[in-house]
Structure 1
Amino acid sequence: MAKVLLVDDEANIIDVSKRYLERDGFQVITASDGEEAMCLWRTEAPDLLVLDLMMPKKDGFQVFQEIRHEDDVPIIILTARCEEMDRLVGLTMGADDYLTKPFSPRELVLRAQTILRRVAIGRGKKPTSFDQLKYGPLHIDSDKRMVQINQQLINLTAKEFDLLWLLASHPKQVFSRNQLLERIWDFEYEGDTTTVTVHIRRLREKIEELPSKPRYIQTVWGIGYKFEGDDDS
Protein backbone atom coordinates (compact mmCIF):
# COMPACT_ATOMS: atom_id res chain seq x y z
CA MET A 1 0.00 0.00 0.00
CA ALA A 2 1.49 3.31 -1.10
CA LYS A 3 1.81 5.95 1.62
CA VAL A 4 0.94 9.58 0.82
CA LEU A 5 1.85 12.59 2.94
CA LEU A 6 -0.85 15.21 2.31
CA VAL A 7 0.14 18.71 3.41
CA ASP A 8 -2.29 21.64 3.40
CA ASP A 9 -3.54 24.16 5.93
CA GLU A 10 -7.13 24.02 4.60
CA ALA A 11 -9.05 21.43 6.60
CA ASN A 12 -11.69 20.82 3.91
CA ILE A 13 -9.03 20.01 1.30
CA ILE A 14 -7.33 17.62 3.70
CA ASP A 15 -10.62 15.92 4.61
CA VAL A 16 -11.98 15.36 1.10
CA SER A 17 -8.62 14.49 -0.51
CA LYS A 18 -7.82 12.02 2.27
CA ARG A 19 -11.12 10.21 1.85
CA TYR A 20 -10.74 9.90 -1.91
CA LEU A 21 -7.14 8.67 -1.66
CA GLU A 22 -7.98 6.15 1.04
CA ARG A 23 -10.92 4.72 -0.85
CA ASP A 24 -8.54 3.98 -3.74
CA GLY A 25 -6.13 2.07 -1.56
CA PHE A 26 -3.62 4.67 -0.38
CA GLN A 27 -2.46 5.05 3.20
CA VAL A 28 -2.70 8.77 4.00
CA ILE A 29 -0.97 10.82 6.68
CA THR A 30 -1.64 14.54 6.94
CA ALA A 31 0.04 17.74 8.07
CA SER A 32 -1.33 21.26 8.33
CA ASP A 33 1.94 23.23 8.27
CA GLY A 34 5.48 22.94 6.97
CA GLU A 35 7.16 22.04 10.24
CA GLU A 36 4.76 19.17 10.86
CA ALA A 37 5.28 18.03 7.27
CA MET A 38 9.05 17.82 7.76
CA CYS A 39 8.65 15.78 10.95
CA LEU A 40 6.28 13.33 9.27
CA TRP A 41 8.45 13.03 6.18
CA ARG A 42 11.41 11.99 8.36
CA THR A 43 9.47 9.55 10.56
CA GLU A 44 6.98 8.08 8.06
CA ALA A 45 9.04 7.89 4.83
CA PRO A 46 6.07 8.44 2.48
CA ASP A 47 6.08 7.25 -1.13
CA LEU A 48 4.52 10.52 -2.36
CA LEU A 49 4.02 14.07 -1.09
CA VAL A 50 1.07 16.28 -1.98
CA LEU A 51 2.31 19.69 -0.92
CA ASP A 52 0.57 23.05 -0.69
CA LEU A 53 2.95 25.94 -1.32
CA MET A 54 1.33 28.58 0.88
CA MET A 55 1.40 27.40 4.52
CA PRO A 56 2.13 28.76 7.99
CA LYS A 57 5.35 28.28 10.03
CA LYS A 58 7.32 26.95 7.06
CA ASP A 59 6.00 27.39 3.54
CA GLY A 60 5.87 24.75 0.86
CA PHE A 61 8.89 26.14 -0.99
CA GLN A 62 11.09 25.66 2.07
CA VAL A 63 9.73 22.17 2.66
CA PHE A 64 10.26 21.31 -1.00
CA GLN A 65 13.86 22.52 -1.03
CA GLU A 66 14.80 20.73 2.19
CA ILE A 67 13.30 17.44 1.05
CA ARG A 68 14.77 17.66 -2.45
CA HIS A 69 18.20 18.25 -0.92
CA GLU A 70 17.99 14.79 0.68
CA ASP A 71 15.45 12.73 -1.26
CA ASP A 72 13.91 12.25 -4.71
CA VAL A 73 10.48 11.26 -3.36
CA PRO A 74 7.83 12.31 -5.94
CA ILE A 75 6.00 15.53 -5.10
CA ILE A 76 2.73 16.99 -6.38
CA ILE A 77 2.44 20.70 -5.58
CA LEU A 78 -0.85 22.49 -4.92
CA THR A 79 -1.25 26.13 -5.90
CA ALA A 80 -4.00 28.73 -6.04
CA ARG A 81 -5.29 29.70 -9.49
CA CYS A 82 -3.52 33.06 -9.46
CA GLU A 83 -0.08 31.64 -8.57
CA GLU A 84 1.16 30.75 -12.06
CA MET A 85 4.71 31.82 -11.21
CA ASP A 86 4.67 29.55 -8.16
CA ARG A 87 3.70 26.61 -10.34
CA LEU A 88 6.50 27.37 -12.79
CA VAL A 89 9.03 27.74 -9.99
CA GLY A 90 7.85 24.50 -8.39
CA LEU A 91 8.19 22.56 -11.64
CA THR A 92 11.60 24.13 -12.27
CA MET A 93 12.69 23.02 -8.81
CA GLY A 94 11.79 19.45 -9.67
CA ALA A 95 8.13 18.88 -8.78
CA ASP A 96 6.65 15.85 -10.51
CA ASP A 97 3.26 17.44 -11.11
CA TYR A 98 0.96 20.21 -9.90
CA LEU A 99 -2.73 20.82 -9.30
CA THR A 100 -4.45 24.18 -9.26
CA LYS A 101 -7.01 24.92 -6.55
CA PRO A 102 -9.87 24.25 -6.61
CA PHE A 103 -9.16 20.77 -7.96
CA SER A 104 -11.07 17.53 -8.33
CA PRO A 105 -10.06 14.96 -5.69
CA ARG A 106 -10.59 12.26 -8.33
CA GLU A 107 -7.96 13.97 -10.47
CA LEU A 108 -5.58 14.00 -7.50
CA VAL A 109 -6.01 10.22 -7.14
CA LEU A 110 -5.34 9.67 -10.85
CA ARG A 111 -2.25 11.91 -10.78
CA ALA A 112 -0.93 10.06 -7.71
CA GLN A 113 -1.46 6.65 -9.32
CA THR A 114 0.21 7.76 -12.56
CA ILE A 115 3.26 9.21 -10.82
CA LEU A 116 3.83 6.20 -8.57
CA ARG A 117 3.45 3.82 -11.49
CA ARG A 118 5.98 5.86 -13.51
CA VAL A 119 8.43 6.00 -10.60
CA ALA A 120 8.20 2.24 -10.06
CA ILE A 121 8.89 1.53 -13.73
CA GLY A 122 11.78 4.01 -13.75
CA ARG A 123 13.38 2.24 -10.81
CA GLY A 124 13.01 -1.14 -12.46
CA LYS A 125 10.29 -2.31 -10.09
CA LYS A 126 6.93 -3.87 -10.81
CA PRO A 127 4.30 -1.11 -10.71
CA THR A 128 2.08 -1.09 -7.65
CA SER A 129 -0.90 -3.33 -8.34
CA PHE A 130 -3.53 -0.77 -7.38
CA ASP A 131 -4.33 -0.30 -11.07
CA GLN A 132 -5.07 -3.95 -11.90
CA LEU A 133 -6.98 -6.73 -10.18
CA LYS A 134 -7.48 -10.33 -11.26
CA TYR A 135 -9.96 -12.75 -9.73
CA GLY A 136 -10.00 -16.01 -11.66
CA PRO A 137 -11.31 -15.18 -15.16
CA LEU A 138 -12.25 -11.62 -14.09
CA HIS A 139 -9.63 -8.99 -14.93
CA ILE A 140 -10.14 -5.34 -13.96
CA ASP A 141 -7.81 -2.60 -15.21
CA SER A 142 -8.35 0.72 -13.45
CA ASP A 143 -5.88 2.64 -15.61
CA LYS A 144 -7.66 1.65 -18.84
CA ARG A 145 -11.07 1.37 -17.12
CA MET A 146 -11.43 -2.01 -18.76
CA VAL A 147 -13.08 -5.23 -17.56
CA GLN A 148 -12.55 -8.64 -19.13
CA ILE A 149 -13.88 -12.11 -18.36
CA ASN A 150 -11.94 -14.95 -19.98
CA GLN A 151 -10.26 -12.24 -22.09
CA GLN A 152 -13.63 -11.08 -23.42
CA LEU A 153 -14.29 -7.35 -23.04
CA ILE A 154 -17.26 -6.47 -20.82
CA ASN A 155 -18.92 -3.12 -21.50
CA LEU A 156 -19.73 -1.26 -18.28
CA THR A 157 -21.07 2.22 -17.68
CA ALA A 158 -18.87 4.65 -15.73
CA LYS A 159 -20.81 4.10 -12.50
CA GLU A 160 -20.86 0.33 -12.96
CA PHE A 161 -17.09 0.32 -13.36
CA ASP A 162 -16.56 2.58 -10.33
CA LEU A 163 -18.82 0.35 -8.26
CA LEU A 164 -17.05 -2.83 -9.34
CA TRP A 165 -13.61 -1.33 -8.76
CA LEU A 166 -14.48 -0.14 -5.27
CA LEU A 167 -15.85 -3.52 -4.21
CA ALA A 168 -13.13 -5.59 -5.90
CA SER A 169 -10.29 -3.47 -4.51
CA HIS A 170 -11.64 -4.07 -0.99
CA PRO A 171 -12.38 -7.83 -1.04
CA LYS A 172 -14.55 -9.18 1.79
CA GLN A 173 -15.17 -5.65 3.11
CA VAL A 174 -18.88 -5.01 3.59
CA PHE A 175 -20.23 -1.71 2.25
CA SER A 176 -23.66 -0.43 3.15
CA ARG A 177 -25.82 1.03 0.41
CA ASN A 178 -25.38 4.48 1.92
CA GLN A 179 -21.59 4.09 1.89
CA LEU A 180 -21.69 3.09 -1.77
CA LEU A 181 -23.90 6.10 -2.55
CA GLU A 182 -21.40 8.41 -0.88
CA ARG A 183 -18.35 6.92 -2.52
CA ILE A 184 -19.60 6.36 -6.05
CA TRP A 185 -22.11 9.18 -6.36
CA ASP A 186 -19.93 11.62 -4.36
CA PHE A 187 -20.07 12.57 -0.72
CA GLU A 188 -22.66 15.26 -1.30
CA TYR A 189 -25.07 12.99 -3.18
CA GLU A 190 -28.57 12.77 -1.75
CA GLY A 191 -30.59 10.00 -3.31
CA ASP A 192 -32.48 6.76 -2.92
CA THR A 193 -30.41 3.68 -2.11
CA THR A 194 -32.38 1.78 -4.75
CA THR A 195 -29.95 3.42 -7.17
CA VAL A 196 -27.27 1.15 -5.72
CA THR A 197 -29.52 -1.91 -5.90
CA VAL A 198 -30.27 -1.30 -9.58
CA HIS A 199 -26.58 -0.85 -10.46
CA ILE A 200 -25.61 -4.00 -8.55
CA ARG A 201 -28.26 -5.98 -10.44
CA ARG A 202 -27.03 -4.67 -13.80
CA LEU A 203 -23.42 -5.33 -12.85
CA ARG A 204 -24.20 -8.91 -11.88
CA GLU A 205 -25.96 -9.46 -15.19
CA LYS A 206 -22.76 -8.45 -16.96
CA ILE A 207 -20.03 -10.18 -14.92
CA GLU A 208 -21.71 -13.13 -13.18
CA GLU A 209 -22.20 -16.48 -14.90
CA LEU A 210 -25.34 -16.96 -12.79
CA PRO A 211 -26.60 -13.55 -11.61
CA SER A 212 -29.07 -15.22 -9.25
CA LYS A 213 -26.16 -17.07 -7.59
CA PRO A 214 -23.33 -14.54 -7.83
CA ARG A 215 -19.73 -15.60 -7.44
CA TYR A 216 -18.25 -12.15 -6.99
CA ILE A 217 -20.72 -9.59 -5.64
CA GLN A 218 -22.39 -11.01 -2.56
CA THR A 219 -25.37 -9.54 -0.73
CA VAL A 220 -24.97 -9.13 3.01
CA TRP A 221 -28.60 -9.17 4.07
CA GLY A 222 -29.74 -6.13 6.00
CA ILE A 223 -26.46 -4.30 5.39
CA GLY A 224 -25.21 -4.08 1.81
CA TYR A 225 -22.68 -5.84 -0.41
CA LYS A 226 -19.19 -7.30 -0.45
CA PHE A 227 -16.84 -8.73 -3.07
CA GLU A 228 -15.69 -12.35 -2.87
CA GLY A 229 -12.95 -14.01 -4.88
CA ASP A 230 -9.42 -15.31 -4.77
CA ASP A 231 -7.00 -12.68 -6.03
CA ASP A 232 -4.87 -14.21 -8.77
CA SER A 233 -2.92 -11.06 -9.57
Structure 2
Amino acid sequence: MASTVLIIANDKNLSKTYAGLFNKKEFAIFSAHSGRQALSHAKSNHLDAIVVDVTSQRLNAKTLWRRLHGESSAPVVLIAMPNAKIDSAIKHAGVVPRPLVSKRLVARVKAAMDARPPRVLTLGTLTVDLEKHKLTRGNKMFPLTPKEFVLLKLLMTRAGQMVTRKTIIKEVWETDYTGDTRTLDVHMRWLREKVEESPSKPEHLLTMRGQGYKFVV
Protein backbone atom coordinates (compact mmCIF):
# COMPACT_ATOMS: atom_id res chain seq x y z
CA MET A 1 0.00 0.00 0.00
CA ALA A 2 1.36 3.42 -0.97
CA SER A 3 2.42 5.79 1.80
CA THR A 4 0.52 9.08 1.83
CA VAL A 5 2.55 12.29 1.89
CA LEU A 6 1.25 15.86 2.06
CA ILE A 7 3.54 18.45 0.48
CA ILE A 8 2.93 22.05 1.56
CA ALA A 9 4.57 24.74 -0.56
CA ASN A 10 3.26 28.15 -1.53
CA ASP A 11 4.99 27.93 -4.92
CA LYS A 12 3.04 25.52 -7.15
CA ASN A 13 6.05 24.86 -9.39
CA LEU A 14 8.19 23.91 -6.40
CA SER A 15 5.40 21.71 -5.10
CA LYS A 16 5.31 19.92 -8.46
CA THR A 17 9.08 19.48 -8.37
CA TYR A 18 9.01 17.99 -4.87
CA ALA A 19 6.14 15.66 -5.77
CA GLY A 20 8.06 14.44 -8.82
CA LEU A 21 10.87 13.15 -6.60
CA PHE A 22 8.64 10.46 -5.11
CA ASN A 23 8.04 7.11 -6.79
CA LYS A 24 4.33 6.94 -7.63
CA LYS A 25 4.23 3.22 -6.84
CA GLU A 26 5.46 3.86 -3.29
CA PHE A 27 3.82 7.18 -2.49
CA ALA A 28 0.47 8.89 -2.93
CA ILE A 29 1.11 12.63 -2.96
CA PHE A 30 -1.24 15.43 -1.92
CA SER A 31 -0.23 19.05 -2.51
CA ALA A 32 -1.34 22.15 -0.63
CA HIS A 33 -0.43 25.76 -1.41
CA SER A 34 -1.93 27.42 1.66
CA GLY A 35 -2.50 26.69 5.31
CA ARG A 36 -6.21 26.25 4.68
CA GLN A 37 -5.63 23.63 1.98
CA ALA A 38 -3.11 21.85 4.19
CA LEU A 39 -5.55 21.58 7.09
CA SER A 40 -8.30 20.36 4.78
CA HIS A 41 -6.06 17.53 3.56
CA ALA A 42 -4.95 16.68 7.10
CA LYS A 43 -8.57 16.44 8.27
CA SER A 44 -9.83 14.31 5.40
CA ASN A 45 -6.88 12.01 4.67
CA HIS A 46 -4.73 9.56 6.59
CA LEU A 47 -1.18 10.94 6.28
CA ASP A 48 2.07 9.04 6.74
CA ALA A 49 4.29 12.12 6.45
CA ILE A 50 4.07 15.88 5.91
CA VAL A 51 6.60 18.00 4.01
CA VAL A 52 6.58 21.76 4.60
CA ASP A 53 8.62 24.28 2.60
CA VAL A 54 9.19 26.97 5.24
CA THR A 55 11.03 29.31 2.85
CA SER A 56 7.72 30.87 1.81
CA GLN A 57 7.00 34.20 3.45
CA ARG A 58 3.26 33.59 3.08
CA LEU A 59 3.21 30.50 5.32
CA ASN A 60 3.40 30.99 9.08
CA ALA A 61 5.25 27.75 9.81
CA LYS A 62 4.74 27.83 13.58
CA THR A 63 1.00 28.43 13.39
CA LEU A 64 0.61 25.91 10.58
CA TRP A 65 2.53 23.22 12.47
CA ARG A 66 0.47 23.83 15.60
CA ARG A 67 -2.81 23.38 13.72
CA LEU A 68 -1.58 20.39 11.73
CA HIS A 69 -0.44 18.75 14.96
CA GLY A 70 -4.04 18.85 16.16
CA GLU A 71 -5.19 16.94 13.07
CA SER A 72 -2.39 14.46 12.36
CA SER A 73 0.45 12.74 14.18
CA ALA A 74 2.38 12.20 10.94
CA PRO A 75 6.07 13.20 11.13
CA VAL A 76 6.92 16.60 9.63
CA VAL A 77 9.95 17.15 7.39
CA LEU A 78 10.95 20.75 6.69
CA ILE A 79 12.56 22.27 3.61
CA ALA A 80 14.50 25.40 4.55
CA MET A 81 17.31 27.63 3.39
CA PRO A 82 20.79 26.71 4.71
CA ASN A 83 21.46 28.12 8.20
CA ALA A 84 17.80 29.10 8.58
CA LYS A 85 16.67 29.44 12.19
CA ILE A 86 13.80 27.05 12.86
CA ASP A 87 11.46 27.98 15.71
CA SER A 88 12.04 25.50 18.55
CA ALA A 89 8.26 25.14 18.95
CA ILE A 90 8.11 23.35 15.59
CA LYS A 91 8.76 19.68 16.30
CA HIS A 92 10.11 18.11 13.14
CA ALA A 93 11.73 14.90 11.90
CA GLY A 94 14.48 16.65 9.99
CA VAL A 95 15.38 19.57 7.75
CA VAL A 96 16.34 19.31 4.08
CA PRO A 97 18.24 22.40 2.81
CA ARG A 98 17.32 24.24 -0.36
CA PRO A 99 18.32 24.19 -3.13
CA LEU A 100 19.93 20.75 -2.57
CA VAL A 101 16.63 18.91 -2.11
CA SER A 102 16.71 16.14 -4.75
CA LYS A 103 16.72 12.61 -3.33
CA ARG A 104 17.58 13.86 0.16
CA LEU A 105 13.94 14.72 0.65
CA VAL A 106 12.70 11.23 -0.17
CA ALA A 107 15.37 9.66 2.05
CA ARG A 108 14.46 11.94 4.96
CA VAL A 109 10.74 11.23 4.59
CA LYS A 110 11.35 7.46 4.53
CA ALA A 111 13.59 7.71 7.62
CA ALA A 112 10.95 9.77 9.44
CA MET A 113 8.24 7.21 8.68
CA ASP A 114 10.46 4.33 9.80
CA ALA A 115 11.21 6.11 13.08
CA ARG A 116 7.58 6.72 13.96
CA PRO A 117 6.40 5.44 17.33
CA PRO A 118 3.51 2.93 17.50
CA ARG A 119 0.26 4.25 16.06
CA VAL A 120 -1.78 3.16 19.05
CA LEU A 121 -1.37 3.67 22.77
CA THR A 122 -2.87 0.93 24.95
CA LEU A 123 -3.17 0.87 28.73
CA GLY A 124 -5.45 -1.69 30.33
CA THR A 125 -8.77 -1.75 28.48
CA LEU A 126 -8.19 1.64 26.84
CA THR A 127 -6.65 2.11 23.40
CA VAL A 128 -6.03 5.45 21.71
CA ASP A 129 -5.56 5.50 17.94
CA LEU A 130 -2.81 8.10 17.50
CA GLU A 131 -3.61 8.56 13.81
CA LYS A 132 -7.40 8.75 13.83
CA HIS A 133 -7.72 10.34 17.29
CA LYS A 134 -10.21 7.77 18.54
CA LEU A 135 -10.52 6.08 21.91
CA THR A 136 -11.62 2.47 22.28
CA ARG A 137 -12.92 1.30 25.66
CA GLY A 138 -13.94 -2.34 25.59
CA ASN A 139 -16.19 -2.65 22.53
CA LYS A 140 -17.08 1.05 22.44
CA MET A 141 -15.35 3.65 20.29
CA PHE A 142 -15.31 7.40 20.92
CA PRO A 143 -13.98 10.18 18.67
CA LEU A 144 -11.70 12.63 20.46
CA THR A 145 -11.58 16.36 19.84
CA PRO A 146 -8.08 17.79 19.20
CA LYS A 147 -7.80 19.05 22.79
CA GLU A 148 -9.18 15.83 24.29
CA PHE A 149 -6.69 13.84 22.25
CA VAL A 150 -3.65 15.85 23.35
CA LEU A 151 -4.86 15.88 26.97
CA LEU A 152 -5.48 12.13 27.15
CA LYS A 153 -2.24 11.31 25.35
CA LEU A 154 -0.30 13.52 27.78
CA LEU A 155 -1.78 11.80 30.84
CA MET A 156 -1.53 8.25 29.44
CA THR A 157 2.11 8.65 28.45
CA ARG A 158 2.80 9.70 32.04
CA ALA A 159 0.62 7.03 33.63
CA GLY A 160 1.07 6.81 37.38
CA GLN A 161 2.52 10.31 37.58
CA MET A 162 0.75 13.43 38.76
CA VAL A 163 0.77 16.05 36.00
CA THR A 164 0.35 19.58 37.30
CA ARG A 165 -2.31 21.94 36.05
CA LYS A 166 0.43 24.31 34.90
CA THR A 167 2.06 21.59 32.79
CA ILE A 168 -1.26 20.53 31.26
CA ILE A 169 -2.24 24.11 30.39
CA LYS A 170 1.14 24.68 28.77
CA GLU A 171 1.17 21.40 26.81
CA VAL A 172 -2.47 21.32 25.71
CA TRP A 173 -3.39 25.00 25.37
CA GLU A 174 0.15 26.23 24.68
CA THR A 175 0.02 29.07 27.17
CA ASP A 176 1.63 29.84 30.52
CA TYR A 177 -1.49 31.60 31.81
CA THR A 178 -3.03 29.64 34.67
CA GLY A 179 -5.31 32.30 36.12
CA ASP A 180 -8.45 30.43 35.04
CA THR A 181 -8.30 26.65 34.70
CA ARG A 182 -12.03 26.05 34.37
CA THR A 183 -11.54 25.15 30.70
CA LEU A 184 -9.26 22.31 31.80
CA ASP A 185 -11.84 21.05 34.28
CA VAL A 186 -14.58 21.11 31.63
CA HIS A 187 -12.43 19.15 29.17
CA MET A 188 -11.57 16.65 31.89
CA ARG A 189 -15.27 16.14 32.58
CA TRP A 190 -15.93 15.52 28.88
CA LEU A 191 -12.98 13.14 28.69
CA ARG A 192 -14.18 11.15 31.69
CA GLU A 193 -17.49 10.55 29.93
CA LYS A 194 -15.52 8.65 27.29
CA VAL A 195 -12.79 7.05 29.41
CA GLU A 196 -14.68 6.01 32.52
CA GLU A 197 -17.37 3.38 33.02
CA SER A 198 -18.75 5.64 35.74
CA PRO A 199 -17.65 9.26 35.11
CA SER A 200 -18.80 10.39 38.57
CA LYS A 201 -16.55 7.75 40.16
CA PRO A 202 -13.42 7.85 37.98
CA GLU A 203 -10.96 4.98 38.16
CA HIS A 204 -8.46 6.17 35.54
CA LEU A 205 -8.50 9.98 35.41
CA LEU A 206 -7.94 11.01 39.00
CA THR A 207 -7.98 14.53 40.41
CA MET A 208 -5.04 15.47 42.60
CA ARG A 209 -6.83 18.22 44.50
CA GLY A 210 -5.17 21.59 44.13
CA GLN A 211 -2.33 20.12 42.08
CA GLY A 212 -3.34 18.42 38.84
CA TYR A 213 -4.44 15.09 37.41
CA LYS A 214 -3.13 11.53 37.23
CA PHE A 215 -3.91 8.64 34.89
CA VAL A 216 -3.89 5.20 36.51
CA VAL A 217 -4.49 1.85 34.82
Distance (whole Å) between structure 1 residues aligned to residue 212 and residue 154 of structure 2: 13
Question: Normalized against structure 2, the TM-score is what?
Answer: 0.52
Quickly say closer, same or farther: Cα 1:192–1:96, change in 2 above 3 A. Answer: farther
Distance (whole Å) between structure 2 residues aligned to residue 147 and residue 50 of structure 1: 30
Task: Show CA shifts across 1:176-198 (max 9, x none).
Answer: 22221111111366762111111
**In the alignment, does 2:86 pair up with 1:89?**
no
Contact 2:78–2:94 under 8 Å retained in 1: yes
Stretches of structure 1 lacking an aligned partner (at least 5 in a row): 1-12, 22-48, 57-74, 80-85, 99-110, 121-126
- SS in structure 2 of the partner of residue 222 of structure 1: coil
Match of 1:153 in 2: 141
- SS in structure 2 of the partner of residue 94 of structure 1: helix
CA-CA distance at 1:200 after TM superposition: 0.7
Instruction: Count the aligned residue pairs.
Output: 138
Structure richer in helix, relative to its length = 1
Contact 1:76–1:96 under 8 Å retained in 2: no
CA-CA distance at 1:205 after TM superposition: 1.6
Contact 2:79–2:95 under 8 Å retained in 1: yes
Match of 1:55 in 2: 83
Q: Identify the match of residue 168 of structure 2 among 147, 169, 180.
A: 180
CA-CA distance at 1:212 after TM superposition: 2.3
- SS in structure 1 of the partner of residue 158 of structure 2: coil
Contact 1:53–1:77 under 8 Å retained in 2: no
Superposed, 1:99-118 pairs within 5 Å as: 116=112, 118=113
Question: Normalized against structure 1, the TM-score is what?
Answer: 0.49
Contact 1:77–1:97 under 8 Å retained in 2: no
List structure 1 runs of 4+ shifted beyond 4 angstroms. Answer: 49-53, 188-191
Contact 1:51–1:77 under 8 Å retained in 2: yes
Distance (whole Å) between structure 1 residues aligned to residue 177 and residue 100 of structure 2: 38
Distance (whole Å) between structure 2 residues aligned to residue 174 and residue 188 of structure 1: 18
- SS in structure 2 of the partner of residue 89 of structure 1: coil
Distance (whole Å) between structure 1 residues aligned to residue 111 and residue 139 of structure 2: 28
Match of 1:68 in 2: none
Contact 1:154–1:206 under 8 Å retained in 2: yes
Could you say what the CA RMSD is over the residues aligned between the two structures, in angstroms?
Answer: 3.7
